[in-house]
Amino acid sequence: MARPGSQSGTGELGVRLRELRESRGMTQLRLGRALGVAVSSISSWESGAKTPPLTRLADYATYFAAGAVTDGVPPENALTGEQREERLRLKQELDRMRAADEEPGEAEARQDFWHFPDGGPVRIVTGGLTEKHWSPLGTPSEPNFLSLARCADLDAAVELFGHVRAANPRSQAEIRLEHLGDDDLRAHLVFLGSGATNPWVEWLTADWPVRQVPDDDVVDGSVFEIDGERRLRPSFRGDQLVEDVGLLARIPNPNNLRRTLTFCSGVFTRGGFGAVRCLTDPELRDRNLAHLTDEVADLNRFGLLMRVPVMRHVTGTPDLQNPANRLYEWRPNT
């Protein structure tokens, strides 16, 4: 984001991006199509109203180093040796300009959805398993008691907890099983699981167009219903789950508007895990964050339903730059 009072509105990076485009006689529309982004993104980057993600600057470098003669960004292995050298030079130039346009610490915050710049506490809240799924180790009187043995979304909780701790080394991050105190409600909150297992979710999303509801065709899961009509269900091949539906949404925390409230859920646990992984997976998180940064005006106020593939019992990470993986998007008002 441009710094108040700075010259980033006509700053170095924006000017350079415009020079690159105009050097090839291209309109913003044509360049947007080539890079696979909206023309509004090209305009905001050139004006300095928004800062392009690092992955988009890499696309600029690749595209213009290749001569800007293709309909899209060519793969790096298709470049000649001379073009690869030009790409590296151009990418370093653009990265340097981007860093110069940002406030100290802003670059780090932009590169991780799960980084909370204010250093506030983070509470990852999961629902509990139903009684028929309880493990004996979840009984407090058991000598080998495990406090998370009744956690309904343990894979997602462990994945996210490690990532949040690494991205926020000065923040107090904890996993909680449903129970929250008054101070916890004012932290950065992440709710894992649907309203069926995590009652906090249903309470805070009552006015959204998307709800999770029981469905006669889905056992042990709650499907997503849009505007009380359309339902999104998981896919099976025989009795094997091959595709779940995941929810990723964030709004300001209504108990402390300076902090956030994030939801990661699925029809089954696979969907919630995929929603978490789309912004923690080291292979895809930058691409997915680039998509969100390009398409969402406010990353603290958006909602997204996505396909989550399950291949041979392994939960895959959705690629949000693939339109087929984005099932429904909305912008919460609260």
Give residue-wise pLDDT tens across range 240-268: 999 999 999 999 998 898 899 999 999 99
pLDDT of residue 102: 61
User: Confidence class of residue 2 from pLDDT cuts 50, 70 and 90?
Assistant: very low
Q: Does pLDDT of 292 surpass 50? A: yes
Q: Report how far apart, in Å, the C-alpha atoms of 317 and of each of 62, 154, 274 are.
A: 25, 17, 5
pLDDT of residue 30: 92
E strand or H helix at 230: strand 230-232
Render the burial of 39-60: b for 16+ CB within 10 Å, e for the rest: eebbbbbbbbebbbbbbbbbbb
Render the burial of 237-274: b for 16+ CB within 10 Å, e for the rest: eeeebebbbbbbbbbbbeeeeebbbbbbbbbbbbbbbb
Q: Does pLDDT of 214 surpass 80? A: yes
* 153-205 pLDDT, tens digit each: 889 999 999 999 999 988 999 998 867 888 899 999 999 987 666 776 766 66
Q: What is the dihedral of CA 289, 295, 296, 299, to 10 degrees?
A: 10
Q: Token pair for residue 145? A: 């008691």
Instruction: Round to whole Å and give the CA distance between 124 and 129.
Output: 16
E strand or H helix at 258: strand 256-266
* 70-118 pLDDT, tens digit each: 788 998 788 899 999 999 999 999 988 887 876 554 455 457 899 998 8
Which of 3 and 42 is assigned the larger pLDDT? 42
User: pTM to 2 decimals?
Assistant: 0.68
Task: Report the percentage of the chain scoring pLDDT > 90.
Answer: 51
Task: Report the percentage of the chain scoring pLDDT > 70.
Answer: 87
Nearest to 153 by CA among 122, 213, 180, 193: 193
- On the CB side of 315, CA atoms within 13 Å amount to 21
Those residues with Cβ within 8 angstroms of residue 201's Cβ, 6 or more apart along the chain or in another chain:
127, 191, 193, 194, 195, 212, 263, 265
DSSP 3-state of 312: coil
DSSP 3-state of 85: helix
pLDDT of residue 294: 86
- On the CB side of 318, CA atoms within 13 Å amount to 31
